[in-house]
Copies of this chain bind each other. A is one copy, B any other.
């Protein structure tokens, strides 16, 4: 038999290309509505629901990675990039951590598990908030 499994094959549309391009060219992670707003600047309109659907497809495909920074909305970035962050529990500031403190060979991971990446968030209070708090 030649029939392939009933798996949905994603289509290539200008909308999805636009969403991916927006993420690729962004200097930081973008929330869905930010991507949507940026795309409104072009000639053709794109619906917010479409942006969400495209993001869902990319995340499922492993191309894009969702990140929660605690402000109530999800941000998206290329999965290939490295994402470790510093989060201030007082003001909510969220900034990338340059040096990655996670050893390449992650200890404690079961032998059968194939590691493809990781995300580290370091919590605490930033200098500014500690200063203001005293």
Contacts and interface: CB of A to CB of B under 8 A. Distances in A.
A105 to B, nearest CB: 8
A60 interface: yes
Interface string A121-134: 11111111010011
Copies in the complex: 2
A118 B121 CA distance: 5
A80 to B, nearest CB: 12
- Candidate in A70, A100, A106 with the most chain B CB atoms within 10 angstroms: A106
Contacts of A7: 133
Interface stretch (A14-22, A43-51, A61-69): A61-69
Given A5-B134, A124-B114, A127-B113, A98 B108 contact: yes
Interface of A: 5, 7, 59-60, 62, 65-66, 68, 70, 74, 79, 84, 86, 88-90, 97-103, 106-128, 130, 133-134
